[in-house]
Amino acid sequence: MMQLTLEIVAKTLFGADVGDHADDVGEALDAVLALAADPIFMFFPFLREMPIPSVKRYRRGIAKLDAIIFGVIEKRRAGKQEEGNDLLSMLLHAKDEDGSRMSDRQVRDESLTLFLAGHETTALALSWTWLLLSQHPEVDKKLATELSDVLGDREATLADLPNLRYTNQIINESLRMYPPAWSMGREACEDVVVGGYLIPRDHQVWFCPWAIQRDARWFEAPDEFRPERWENDFQRTLHRYAYFPFGGGPRFCIGQSFAQMEAVLLLATLAQRFRVEVLPKPAPTPDPTVTLRPKHGLRVRLCRRA
């Protein structure tokens, strides 16, 4: 799933330019994220300056990503590469109110942010969805019926989205039970009172979709996987922050529509052809680091749909 969403975000951001480097990019990102997500480096930031193996891998990862991204930017700026209808072209052409354009460094930073934010979360959403479908054959069967009714043998396209209602409900329910961004926090830059509580300057507040989205005050039988609960505009009846897999407020996920569209189309396209059985070993245990990953990955058996 990671490889798939990485290739998709690479193509959306850089057109075909990064396609050939997808493996390199995946490897480099792994090294960068391993260090970024390691609590040891969060608590003891000075360790980032030490010549230890994980720091060296991190530095090599950043250098590789820079080489690829700056390389693509340079080719585009020099006009050696055909302009695409991708996000990189938009960033290169974007102008501020005063007419100035972004520097290469800014374009690199923006692209890398989207690159990082834009693939692992979607890959995790899909992975947990496979687990839930594997544990609930009745839901999988209903999904197969919808795919066969709406699509028959042809490929899913954007135009099918409004008709893939159950597929969409499955994704909503999976994001409720296994939110890839399971927890997020803010730090007060000055004393502030929120909901009657004083939050002193420099203190952090963390909020946890994993806990809130499994709270019986908002969701009946919260630990049960029930995509049907999303029928009849259920979301509209909820408190705005009872369900927030994409965050909220000014830092709300910028990729939400893209991710939702991508997840539904990928689930439809793959589930049309395959049923996925998640094998019992290694046990699929959630590992709450920066994102919610399955601790040892998921081992699956792919069964071709009749």
The DSSP element (H or E) to which 192 belongs, if any, is strand 192-194
Residues 104-123 vs ligand HEM: string with x where CB under 6 A? ---------xx--xx--xx-
CA–CA gap between residue 206 and residue 209 (Å, rounded) = 10
- Nearest CA to 69 out of 29, 99, 37, 100 is that of 29
Q: Does residue number 259 form part of the binding site for ligand HEM (CB under 6 A)?
A: yes
How far the first Cα of the chain sits from its last, in Å, is 23
Placement of tokens 């409004």 in the chain: 162
DSSP letter assigned to residue 60? H
Tell the smallest beta-carbon distance from residue 130 to ligand HEM (Å): 14
Q: Does residue number 128 form part of the binding site for ligand HEM (CB under 6 A)?
A: no
Phi then psi for residue 274, to 5 deg, are -130, 150
Number of residues this chain uses to bind ligand HEM (CB under 6 A): 21
Tell the smallest beta-carbon distance from residue 121 to ligand HEM (Å): 3
Beta-strand relationship, 204-207 and 300-304: unpaired
- Candidate residues 154, 240, 251, 304; the one interacting with ligand HEM per rule CB under 6 A: 251
Q: Does residue number 247 form part of the binding site for ligand HEM (CB under 6 A)?
A: yes
Tell the smallest beta-carbon distance from residue 15 to ligand HEM (Å): 15
Residue 284 makes CB contacts below 8 A (sequence gap 6+) with 131, 278, 294, 295, 298
Select 208 or 278, whichever has its Cβ closest to ligand HEM: 208
Select 130 or 246, whichever has its Cβ closest to ligand HEM: 246
Q: Is the peptide bond before 45 cis (omega within 30 degrees of 0)?
A: no
Residue 2 makes CB contacts below 8 A (sequence gap 6+) with 26, 119, 120, 123
Phi then psi for residue 197, to 5 deg, are -105, 135
Residues 150-189 vs ligand HEM: string with x where CB under 6 A? ------------------------------xx--x-----
Select 166 or 182, whichever has its Cβ closest to ligand HEM: 182
Q: Does residue number 246 form part of the binding site for ligand HEM (CB under 6 A)?
A: yes
Shortest Cβ contact with ligand HEM: which residue? 255
Select 251 or 304, whichever has its Cβ closest to ligand HEM: 251
Select 205 or 279, whichever has its Cβ closest to ligand HEM: 205
Residues of this chain that interact with ligand HEM (CB under 6 A) are 9, 113-114, 117-118, 121-122, 125, 180-181, 184, 245-247, 251, 253-255, 258-259, 263
